[in-house]
Amino acid sequence: MLDALAPLPLGKLIRFLESGKPLKISAKARQNILKSRHFLDQKIKNSPTPIYGINTGFGSLCNTEIENEKLADLQANLVRSHACGLGNPIPKEIVKLMLFLKIRSLSYGYSGVQLATVQRLVDFYNHDILPLVYEQGSLGASGDLAPLAHLALPLLGEGKVWYQNQIVDTETVLAEKGWQPLAFGAKEGLALINGTQFMSAYMVWLVAYSKRLLQWADLISALSLDAFDCRLEPFDALTHHIRPHKGQIETAQIIRHYLAQSPIAGQEKKAVQDPYSFRCIPQVHGASKDALAAIGRVITTEINAVTDNPNIFPDHDKILSGGNFHGQTLAIHLDFLAIALAEIANISERRLYLLISGQRGLPPFLVQNSGLHSGFMIAQYSAASVVSQNKQLCTPASIDSIVSSNGQEDHVSMGANAATKAYQVVRNVEKVLAIELLAAAQALDLRRPQQTAPVLEKLVAALRAEVPFLEQDRFLGQDMQQAIAFLQKQNPKHYKSEA
């Protein structure tokens, strides 16, 4: 049920999406939508004053008045003209999130849309009819105009959608369902294409997936610690008690638990100290966790907000034009997320580099007869290239702006670019962690018959069911792809220490 008054925590939203349950408009949301629409219709009928976006043009055409009999055409034309997306179609899971977030925003009753419009969006969501939305085209203010126009276009029976794993014309799907294209009322097109749902949908997905990758990072780094025969002193609770950042304390505790029953961790060490990429795991992973927590608070506010324009306040007899569509807060925090997650790949690649370095009793490049065999030499190159690309992608989008609409929209957030960049970064982090996992498992197997902790032995056994030990050179790129798939299909929460 959608209740326009009930706060929706991010975790609850993610669980709902994962459940696959259908959406239904609640009685309260229905009442809000109808009340707002009735107020708007009466205002158009009785007020001689032009209202932006309702009986005027858009952007720099805001002073151009439109006759009442052409208001429906105005809104349909708005959606058609703004559907100017470029690049690749965005992932279907992001589109479904966009649908959910747009439905929720409209259900508060500050947008003036028809109930039938919201219901059709709900129908699209429930039947997995996902409009084809493209990566490029949004400046992040007036919200995500081009992407949201592509999201709205199928309501008119136009454009293309994903349906039953195929890209098809919307009119074909509507005919199959026996649904008629909608006729937009005044303001509806504007309500549909104004808003931050493209940026927000990416941000929801990125926060959820980044939490998962941080769990993997802790688990894989624990395996690498034993694989490189590292000391446990840097993870002692006393060290972190005197610098009590939450993420740092949490990470040190997780590593201690993973390695508590490890014979390798408990044995006498020859090295007096370990490199930072091992010793400072709590400080680095913890910083990214703290950043992600702050980002999570921002997106939680956004998914419980109304971001189209103008907004309708029936109880105050006002229609106000403002700037809630501006994505600056999302843009800044999406840049922050990209930086925070890139550092996880950065430190992971450094551990990988040390694992293949031929130190601490391990053969160079983690293969016997190195020279004849190159082992993991070029796997590290691949990780390094991805890490370097992340550094380039972490140049902030939010510090950029470009004037549009004849100067009316003279400062924009570039939040959509921040979102798609952050998505690439997070996918790259997954690749680097997968390569570190391969190397750590290889290094551990080269130390046999020594054993690590039972939970980490379980992880290595599961990986070995997918990717065998590297006896001699083979098509290593395939192993890397299998390791990435392993991280995607396995749940890191399944590997819990019993300590």
pLDDT tens by residue, 449-486:
999 999 999 999 999 999 999 999 999 999 999 999 99
Q: Is the pTM of this model over 0.85?
A: yes
Instruction: Please report, rounded to a whole number, the percentage of residues in the chain having pLDDT higher than 70.
Output: 97
Average pLDDT for 67-92: 90
Backbone φ/ψ region at 178: left (φ over 0), alpha (ψ -120 to 50), beta: left
Residue pair 13/303 in contact (Cβ under 8 Å)? The answer is yes
The conformational region for residue 131 under phi > 0 = left, psi -120 to 50 = alpha, else beta, is: beta
Per-residue pLDDT at 218 exceeds 70:
yes
161 vs 3, residue with greater confidence = 161
- What's the pLDDT tens digit per position in 353-397? 999 999 999 999 999 999 999 999 999 999 999 999 999 999 999
Q: Which residues contact 183 (CB under 8 A, 6 or more apart)?
A: 72, 76
Beta-sheet strands, E only, within 170-262: none
Q: Check if 423 is active-site.
A: no
The DSSP bridge pattern shows strands 166-169 and 130-131 to be unpaired
Q: Confidence band (pLDDT; 50, 70, 90) for 5?
A: low
Confidence band of 47 (pLDDT split at 50, 70, 90): confident
Q: Which amino acid is at 10?
A: L
> How would you classify the pairing of strands 130-131 and 311-313?
unpaired
Contact, 269 vs 229, CB < 8 A?
yes
Instruction: Estimate to the nearest angstrom the gap between the alpha carbon of 54 and the chain centroid.
Output: 33
pLDDT of amino acid 59: 64
Q: With both helix axes pointing from N to C terminus, report the angle between 328-355 and 197-227 in degrees, rounded to the nearest 10.
A: 20
Among 52, 163, 202, 495, the active-site one is 52
**Domains, the chain, ordered by start:** 10-195 (1.10.275.10), 202-494 (1.20.200.10)
